[in-house]
């Protein structure tokens, strides 16, 4: 896939670790100029530029837009990957938790699209990183699931709204992806065995699996694809 995104400017929100970092590095290999947005940018990411910004803040998208204008670049691709997760049963959900998760997982992508899409030209691509938790019910994770369900609906709505500008909007719904965030949980033998039993392919995904899907949706390979969700879960969501 070397050269697939040559000459393209890609903005990755939530780029400091895990899936976001893998997407950014995959896009670098595809020839893109990669700009990362994250609370704590990684100095060894290899990205061309990085902006330290807290995507929970309401003005984060405006800061990102002004940064791009200062750099003198217009994005061709926007990847909305930033997310918070805090699993709790319903009776333990707090208003603060609700507002924080919704701010990062739903408001941030919405406002980044609002402020960066006007800088995009025809042929632009927006990819929202959702979750299979938006597609099925899981106990003890209602706020995160609600935020990702909203992101799925937002993807469909803006795919229609931005189509006349030649901008495509799609989503990716990862399943069980092995990252540093869930390494401790996946290392626990019983939990690991239970999780693997739900995945028909019998293995956890890697961040690079999601990066490959993002590369497809960001490139001309998917030029007639918009408003859809690409599920990357080893078949987990197909199993009852």
Q: What is the pLDDT of residues 194-213, one digit of tens each?
A: 889 999 999 999 999 999 99
DSSP sequence for 147-214: HHHHHHHHHHHHHHHHGGGT-EEEEEEE-SB--GGGHHHHHSHHHHHHHHHT-TT-S-B-HHHHHHHH
At residue 240, the pLDDT reads 53
Give the DSSP letter of residue 141: B
C-alpha–C-alpha distance, residues 157 and 24, integer Å: 26
At residue 191, the pLDDT reads 83
Is residue 1 predicted with pLDDT exceeding 70?
Answer: no
List 27, 47, 144, 204, catalytic entry:
144
**Is 144 a known active-site residue?**
yes
pLDDT in tens, 55-100: 999 999 999 999 999 999 999 999 999 998 888 888 888 999 999 9
Burial pattern 194-232, b for ≥16 Cβ within 10 A else e, equals ebeeebeeeebbebebbbebbbbbbbeebeeebbbbbbb
Is residue 181 predicted with pLDDT exceeding 80?
Answer: no
SS3 labels along 28-80 = HHCCCEEEEEECCCCCCCCCCEEEECCCCCCCHHHHHHHHHHHHCCCCCEEEE
Domains and CATH numbers, the chain: 9-229 (3.40.50.720)
């Amino acid at each position: 896939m070397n050269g697939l995104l040559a000459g393209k400017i890609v903005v990755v929100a939530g780029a400091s670790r895990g899936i976001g970092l893998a997407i950014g590095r995959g896009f670098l290999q595809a020839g893109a100029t990669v700009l990362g947005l994250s609370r704590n940018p990684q100095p060894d990411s290899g990205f061309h530029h990085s902006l330290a910004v807290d995507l929970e803040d309401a003005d984060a998208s405006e800061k990102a837009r002004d940064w791009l204008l200062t750099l003198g670049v217009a994005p061709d691709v926007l990847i909305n990957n930033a997310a918070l997760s805090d699993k709790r049963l319903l009776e333990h959900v707090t208003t603060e938790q609700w507002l924080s998760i919704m701010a990062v997982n739903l408001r941030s992508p919405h406002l980044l699209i609002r402020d960066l899409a006007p800088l995009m030209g025809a042929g632009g691509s927006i990819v929202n990183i959702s979750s299979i938790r938006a597609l099925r019910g899981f106990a003890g994770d209602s706020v995160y699931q609600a935020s990702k369900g909203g992101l799925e609906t937002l993807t469909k709505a803006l795919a229609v709204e931005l189509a006349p500008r030649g901008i495509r909007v799609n989503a990716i719904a990862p399943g069980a992806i092995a990252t540093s965030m869930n390494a401790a949980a996946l290392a626990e033998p019983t939990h690991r065995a239970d999780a693997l039993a739900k995945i028909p392919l019998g293995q956890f995904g890697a961040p690079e699996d999601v990066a490959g899907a993002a590369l497809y949706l960001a490139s001309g390979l998917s030029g007639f694809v918009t408003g859809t969700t690409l599920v990357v879960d080893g078949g987990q969501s197909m199993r009852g």
